[in-house]
Amino acid sequence: MRKISDTINRLAALRAAGTANGFSSASSRLTPLADFGPNPGALSGYVYIPQTLEANAALVVVLHGCTQNASGYDLGAGWSDMADRHGFALLFPEQQRQNNPNLCFNWFSPADIRRDMGEASSIRQMVAAVTARHGLDPARVFVTGLSAGGAMTAVMLAAYPEVFAGGAIIAGLPYGCASTVPQAFDRMRGHGMPSALELTALVRSASDHEGPWPTLSIWHGTADATVSHDNAQAIIDQWQPLHGARMAPDHVEAIGAHARRAWTDTAGREVIEEYTIHGMGHGTPLDTLSEQGCGASGAYMLEANISSTQLICRFWGLAQETERKAATVARKPALSPSGQEAAHDAIISAMPPIYARRPFAHDQYTQRIGGLRKVIEDALRSAGLMR
C-alpha cells in the first residue's frame, strides 16, 4: 500500500519537473481572455480561435494538469493544431498559484466543485463569454483535461451537464469522490472509493438535470503510479446508469498494444468509451511520430503511439473517421455479456508485453524518443512556436 507521503513526494517531483517540459509561455499561440464575469474561482483564461473558424463552430474547453499551464498543455497535446485542422475554437482555463501551490484545479474542494460556486462557476462563465463573442454553437461545447484537470472535467460534466455535449477524462477521477485533501490522496491511490450507486447519486444531485447526459471518453495508463487505474472503472460505474448503458461493454477492440471498450445507449449510440493505454504512466497519450500525429512529448505528455487528442475529436464528431490510424479487432456487439467480458479479457491478455519491465523507460526507447523530440522541437522553433 502506497503511503500518502509517497504521493506527496511524487507531486513535489512533478512540480519540479514541470518547469523543464520545454514549453515556455513565449511559445504560446493562446490569447488572454478578459472580462468574462465575476470569476469567483480567481482563474485565468486563454482562447485560441483558428482562421478556419466558421459560424456556429464547436468549442473545446481544455484543463491542464498539476504543475502545468495552458500554453504548455496546448503545445504538448496539440489542441491548437487540431483546431486549425477542423475549425473549432478552444478555451483554456488556467489555475493560479495563489489558489493551489501545485497549480492543480481544486477538483475535491466543495467550494469549487458545486454549481455556480468557485472554480466551476468561473469556467462556466468563460464558456458563456467565449460562446457568445465568437458565435459558437452552444449545443457543441466539450471539455477535456488531464489528472486534476481530468477530475475537474468530471466536475464540469456533473455540475453543468446541460452545457456540455461530451467530456474526455485523462488519468482523472470521478466527480464528488473526495471532499478533503486526505480523501483526495486516498482516491488517487484507489482507496476508499464510494460505491457505484453512491457515485451515480453524486452526479444526479449536482444539478436538477434529467438528461440527455454528456458522452464520455476515458483514458488511463496501466502503469500510472500517481492516479490509480482503478479510477477509470469508477468513472464508468458513475456514468453508466445515467446513460442506461449495460455493465458489460457493447464493443471491445484492440488498437495496437492498447484496448478500447465502448458502451451504447438504448438507441445504439456510443455514449461511453474507455482507452486502456498499455504500459503508460501518468500523462496524456500522444502520437507524435506519424504523419498525422500532433503535439510534442515532454513531462506528462507521453509518446504512446496513439493520439488521445485526435481520437477524442473523432469521438465528439469534430474529426473524420479517416484520421483514426489503428489496427482494430472486428467488433462483436451481438456477444452475450459474459462473452463480451471474455473477449475483453482475451484482448488484454494478448497485448504484447512492450516495456513491461520498465514501462516507457528502457534505453532504446528513450534514445529513439530523444532524437525524435529534437526533430519536433526544431520544427516548433522554426515555426516560431518554441524558443
**One-character DSSP codes across 167-211:** EEEES---TTS-SSHHHHHHHHTT-SPPPHHHHHHHHHTTSS--S
User: Can you give the three-state secondary structure of 266-305, one letter per residue?
Assistant: CCCCEEEEEEEECCCCCCEEECCCCCCCCCCCECCEEECC
Using CA atoms, how far residue 270 sits from 54, 166, 244, 261, in Å, is 27, 12, 11, 10
Q: Catalytic: 27? A: no
List CB contacts of 11: < 8 A, sequence separation 6 or more: 66, 102, 226
Q: Which residue, among 231, 107, 208, 102, has the nearest Cα to 162 in the 3D structure? A: 208
Q: Name the catalytic one among 28, 121, 147, 217.
A: 147
What are residue 37's DSSP bridge partners?
Answer: none
The angle that helices 118-133 and 148-159 make with each other, rounded to 10 degrees, is 80
Q: How many CB atoms lie within 10 A of CB 25?
A: 10
> Do 15 and 66 contact (CB within 8 A), yes or no?
yes
Catalytic residues: 147
